[in-house]
Amino acid sequence: MDLLTPGIGLIFWQLLIFGILFLFLSKYAWGPITKSLKEREKFISDSIKSAEKAEKELEKLNDKNKELVKEARKEREKILLEAKSISNSIKNTAKEEASKITDKMIDDAKKMIEGEKMSAIKEVKVLVASLSLDIAEKVIQKNLKNESTQQKLVSDLIDKIKIEKN
C-alpha cells in the first residue's frame, strides 16, 4: 500500500513546484493567452457586428433596388402608353388627311366628269342641231321645189306667227 499513499515530503515538493509553476504561468503565460483570447473574442464580435451591418445594408440596397425596378417598370409603362397614344394620334391624323385627300380627289373627278359630260352634251346638241338642219334643208329643198308649196309654207308660217302673238 505504500505505493498508493505518497509521502509528506513528496507532497510538499509537488505543492512547491506546482506553486512556482502556477506563479510563472500566471505571470508570463496566462496574461498573454487571456489577452490574445480577449482580442480574438473582440475581433470575432466586431466581425459579427460588421457582418450584421453589411447584411442590413445589403437588405436596404435590395429594397432600394426593388423600388427602383418598380419605378422603372412604372416609367416604362407610362412611356409605352404615351407612345401608343401618340401612335394612335398619328394614325388618326393620317387617316383624316387621307380621307380629305380622297374626298378632294373624288370631288375633282366628279367636277371633271361633269365638265366632260357637259362638253359631250354640247357636242351632241351641236351635232343634233347640225344634223337636224341638214335634214330640214334636204326636206325643205325637196318639198319646196315648186312654187305653190313654197307659197303655202310661207302663208302657214305667217298664220302661226299671228296666232302666237295673240
State pLDDT tens for residues 20-78.
999 988 888 888 888 899 999 999 999 999 999 999 999 999 999 999 999 999 999 99
Residue 162 has pLDDT above 80, yes or no: no
Query: Tell me, what's the pLDDT at 3?
Result: 63
Read off the pLDDT of each residue in 112-134 and give the average, rounded to a whole number.
Answer: 87
Distance CA 137, CA 131 (A): 10
Instruction: Report residue 91 as a C-alpha cell.
Output: 394614325
Task: Please answer whether residues 118 and 112 qualify as being in contact, where contact means their C-beta atoms are separated by less than 8 angstroms.
Answer: no
User: By percentage, how much of the chain surpasses pLDDT 70?
Assistant: 93
In order, the DSSP letters of 15-49 are HHHHHHHHHHHIIIIIHHHHHHHHHHHHHHHHHHH
Task: Please answer whether residues 143 and 149 qualify as being in contact, where contact means their C-beta atoms are separated by less than 8 angstroms.
Answer: yes
Query: Tell me, what's the pLDDT at 31?
Result: 82
- CA 113 to chain centroid, in Å, comes to 44
Instruction: Report residue 4 as a C-alpha cell.
Output: 498508493
Question: Which pTM was predicted?
Answer: 0.41
Distance CA 20, CA 27 (A): 11
State pLDDT tens for residues 62-87.
999 999 999 999 999 999 999 999 99
Query: Tell me, what's the pLDDT at 12?
Result: 93
